[in-house]
Structures are given as structure tokens and as C-alpha cells.
Chains A and B, each alone.
Chain A
């Protein structure tokens, strides 16, 4: 009870509610009793704390009330749209860092995954790969060898002896070859051989016994055609005594011969042939006869057995007629066209031959 009274006295003292006598007595008590003095100091401080605390609380309260009142009257707003910036910008600002971090994390994860994949995935066995590479190389080499062997296999069946031999030459870039009818007489298949010894299967498309001309076509997949034909076919008659030369295969190599035109008619007065004086052998049949300009004037056909060096050639006039007939008979050949311009004119003979020999073939029929 004393303590209560004392506290009340202290409170009265601090708030100044004491009368002057009482106050003097109390101050005296403070001086004489240190405990009382200490209590006064402590309580004074405590009350001060209480007061500021109270003021603080009251202020908070009034602020809160003011806020609500002002929001209510609309003098301030809590609407975020009040902001001067657009919503998207706000969102971006808000989540900028989050986005950046997410992106970084994503990137790091991607890196880690790729590293893990590289580590975990089986390393390529380089020895095995090399061995495999060697195997493939070996196979390729073997295939090459086999291919070359295959090429060496003659397309002429060895069991069937070739019934006839002759020469021929290209008249069209697509592989049409002109030769003599007697070279392929009564036969269906032929093999043509170029100067390098490469053999191509050919089909006999047409032949004319009277004119002694036959048209073959190379049907071999290995044959690639030619870009152009260097020689042309002379339409007009050749002159007597004109220098001529021939290319042909009297044996398995191409042979060049030269001579002159000795008559405008052939054997027994045949006006579709020339008579020539040139060395020739049976294998020369079907070979081209050219003048010095590199124009084909005829197709070498037969030889008079009794006389040496007397040879007959079918005139190009007959060739033109033959081609015409063939085109009429078979419309699929409508596009067959004899070359019209010569690139051999004015060139030296050896140069002409060099260009020519690729287009002259040996014809073997069986």
C-alpha cells in the first residue's frame, strides 16, 4: 500500500499536481532517500516514454484517418493507373531482374547440359573409324579393279567368230554410224570399237543392199555421245584427180591411206560410186573418203580383186538419198541430221586426222 501511495506521490510530483508544501516535503524526501530519488528518475523517464509513445500512436491514428478520409473524398488516389508510366513498362521494371536471372539460369543450364552430353555420350572410337575407313577404301579399290576387269571383258562373244569386219563413222552426235551394207549383211548385232579399243554395242537400224549402205546406232550405256562432228558431207560431185584420203580399220588399229579420184563412176558404170586409186584392204569397207578440205565425198565400199589399188566408194549423194529413205521409213529418226559444216577446212592433214580419228569406228558384226 505504501508503494502505491509513493507512486501516486511521484506521479503527482512529476505532473506538477502537488501543492507547494507537499512539494517541498517531497523534494526533501528525494534528497534524503536515494531509493525514492532513483524511483522518481526512473518513473519520469518511463512516463516520458509513455507520452511520446502515446503521441506517436495518436499521430499514426490521425494519419490513417486522414488517409482514409482523403481517399474517400477522392483528393488522393490509390489507383496504380495514376502512374505516368504504362502498365507494360511497370511490369517490365518489376520483373526485369527476375527475367534476367531466369535467362542466365537458362543459359547456364543449357551449357551444363551440353557439357554433360559431351561427357556422357560415347567418344568416337577413332581406331574403329579408321579401320572402317580402310575397309571402305579397300572395297572401293576392289570395285575399281572389278570395273576395269569388266571393261576388259570383250563384248564380242569369244565363242562366236566375227563374221565380218569393217569400218564406220559417226554421222550424228547421238551415235548413228554409217557403214557398208555388206559389212553387216544378214546380221542383227554389231560391236563398234573406237581407236582406244573401247567397245560399244550397236544395233543395225537400216541397210540398203543396192546402195551398199547401212545405218547403225550405238545403244551401249557406256557411250556418252559426242558434242559435235568436225566433218561435213560434200553435196556436189568431186573432181577427177582430186587428192583424197581414207581412214579405216584393216586391222585392229586405225590406218590412214591417201590416193586420188580416178573415175566419176564406179564398177560397171555405177553412177552412184567413184573409182579411186588408194591402197585398201577388206577392213577398210565403210570408212570415210575425204578431200583435202575435210569434207566427206564418199564411203569406201569395194575393191576390184583383179586390179591392185582400184577401189570404189559410194558417193555422198547416195548417202543423202539413203538417209532420206530411212527417215521416211522410221519417223523416230526424223531428227537424224547429217552435219553441214566442217571445222577441218584449211587445217593441216595431221591435224585433220587427229580430230577425225575419234569419229571413225571399227565395226564387228556377228
Chain B
């Protein structure tokens, strides 16, 4: 009962991007995944990428409102990592690998599909932001991602006043939206 409660707390922490919760989950699960990847032709770097991907998948799942985790965090992460690694091997070498591991797994295909869809969206945003160029990128990131107010941004980016910054931000945003929706529509 205690363990289950702890897991729920951890997931809540993860959903809120709480560094302590993240660290705890990381600590308890990374080594299992590392062993899995290394024993199946991977490196420590591969293990890190795969594990972080799985953590993000878990995060996304934890953020949905009617979220219930039906198994232990470790089982879920292990299943996701195994699935992801299998897929990566399949892509890289065009062989059908049988990834060996002893731990139990749960079906995670649907979650991963959702995760991949989101990843694609993030990629579009990422590309749009990158192709925006400076100072637009930093300006928009400061406003929308770091949630700074206009006054702060104006001083930081050395605009004469907040209105000026607002004007600039507007232009940048229009461009970003154009870039984003051009790809997003194609993506849909």
C-alpha cells in the first residue's frame, strides 16, 4: 500500500516536472534499462536516450486527467524502453531482433503511438522555432516558454520600451505561426 502511494506521489511529481521526483524515478529505474540496452548491442548513450524518451512517455501519460497506472513504474518504463529499443534496432539494421530481457513487460504500443504523435508535433514546433532565427527565437521563447513579462523582456533585449518589444514580438509570432501551421497542416 505504501509503495503504491509512493508511486502515485512520484508520478504526480513527474507530471509537475518536480526535479526530486524525476531524480528518484531516474535513480530507481535507469540501471535496469541500462543493462537491457547494453546486453542488446547498445551503448550507455543509447540507454540514456531511450530511458529519457520513456520518461517523457510516462510524463505524458501522467498528465492526462483520467490517468491510472495499472502496473509498477519500473515495469512500465522497462516495457517502453524495450519497445523503443526494438524499434531502433529494427530501423538501424533492418533485422528483426529478439531483444532479450528477463523482466516482465506490459503492452505499451498505444501509449507509444500517442507519444510519437506528440513528438512529431514538438518536432514541428522545434523546426519552426529554429528556422525563425534570432532575435525572434529568443524573444518568443522568453515570452511564451519562460513566461517573462514584456517589461522584463524589453530590458533584457534592449528595446526602448515594452510597446516596442510587443511590436517586435507580434511580428515574430506571426512568422512563427505561419511556419508552424504550414507544417502542422501538412502533418495533420
Which residues of chain A have C-beta atoms less than 8 A from B34's C-beta?
A: 76-78, 82
Contact of A93 among B22, B41, B44, B180 (CB under 8 A): B41
- Interface contact A49-B180, CB-CB below 8 Å: yes
Interface stretch, picked from B1-9, B24-32, B71-79, B80-88, is: B24-32
Q: Is residue B38 contacting chain A, with contact meaning CB distance below 8 A?
A: yes
- Interface contact B144-A70, CB-CB below 8 Å: no
Interface stretch, picked from B103-111, B131-139, B166-174, is: B166-174
Interface stretch, picked from A60-68, A216-224, A234-242, is: A60-68
**In the assembled complex, how far is the CB of residue B97 from the closest CB belonging to chain A, in whole angstroms?**
9
Interface residue range, chain B: 35 or more
Of A47, A54, A62, A80, most buried by chain B (CB within 10 Å of CB) is A62
The number of inter-chain residue pairs (CB within 8 angstroms) is 103
- Interface contact A64-B38, CB-CB below 8 Å: no
Contact of A60 among B43, B56, B177, B180 (CB under 8 A): B56
Which residues of chain A have C-beta atoms less than 8 A from B23's C-beta?
A: 66, 69-70
Closest to B147 in A: A54
Q: Is residue B122 contacting chain A, with contact meaning CB distance below 8 A?
A: yes
Q: Is residue A187 contacting chain B, with contact meaning CB distance below 8 A?
A: no
- Interface contact A90-B22, CB-CB below 8 Å: no
Q: Is residue B95 contacting chain A, with contact meaning CB distance below 8 A?
A: yes
Closest to A85 in B: B39
Q: Is residue A321 contacting chain B, with contact meaning CB distance below 8 A?
A: no
- Interface contact A3-B170, CB-CB below 8 Å: yes
Contact of A55 among B17, B48, B55, B184 (CB under 8 A): B17
**In the assembled complex, how far is the CB of residue B13 from the closest CB belonging to chain A, in whole angstroms?**
11
**How many angstroms between the C-alpha atoms of A77 and B35 in the bound complex?**
10
Closest to B33 in A: A76
Q: Is residue B90 contacting chain A, with contact meaning CB distance below 8 A?
A: no
Q: Is residue A14 contacting chain B, with contact meaning CB distance below 8 A?
A: no
Q: How many residues of chain A get a CB closer than 8 Å to chain B's CBs?
A: 41
**In the assembled complex, how far is the CB of residue A231 from the closest CB belonging to chain B, in whole angstroms?**
91
**How many angstroms between the C-alpha atoms of A49 and B121 in the bound complex?**
8
- Interface contact A94-B41, CB-CB below 8 Å: yes
**How many angstroms between the C-alpha atoms of A94 and B89 in the bound complex?**
12
- Interface contact B26-A4, CB-CB below 8 Å: no
- Interface contact A80-B44, CB-CB below 8 Å: yes
- Interface contact A83-B39, CB-CB below 8 Å: yes
Q: Which residues of B contact A (CB under 8 A)?
A: 17, 19, 22-23, 26-27, 30-31, 34-35, 38-41, 43-45, 47-48, 52, 55-56, 59, 93, 95, 118, 121-122, 125-126, 144-145, 166-167, 170, 173, 177, 180-181, 184
- Interface contact A80-B125, CB-CB below 8 Å: no
- Interface contact A56-B48, CB-CB below 8 Å: no
Contact of A83 among B22, B35, B95, B122 (CB under 8 A): B35
Closest to A54 in B: B145
- Interface contact B56-A75, CB-CB below 8 Å: no
Which residues of chain A have C-beta atoms less than 8 A from B41's C-beta?
A: 93-94
**In the assembled complex, how far is the CB of residue A53 from the closest CB belonging to chain B, in whole angstroms?**
4
Q: Is residue A7 contacting chain B, with contact meaning CB distance below 8 A?
A: yes
- Interface contact B144-A76, CB-CB below 8 Å: no
**In the assembled complex, how far is the CB of residue A15 from the closest CB belonging to chain B, in whole angstroms?**
10
Q: Is residue A163 contacting chain B, with contact meaning CB distance below 8 A?
A: no
Which residues of chain B have C-beta atoms less than 8 A from A31's C-beta?
A: none
Which residues of chain A have C-beta atoms less than 8 A from B48's C-beta?
A: 67, 78
- Interface contact B31-A82, CB-CB below 8 Å: yes
Which residues of chain A have C-beta atoms less than 8 A from B93's C-beta?
A: 97
Q: Is residue A57 contacting chain B, with contact meaning CB distance below 8 A?
A: yes
Which residues of chain B have C-beta atoms less than 8 A from A4's C-beta?
A: 166-167, 170
A sample of 8 more A-B contacts (CB under 8 A), given A53-B145, A59-B17, A60-B56, is A4-B166, A7-B173, A42-B181, A62-B17, A76-B27, A78-B34, A83-B38, A90-B39
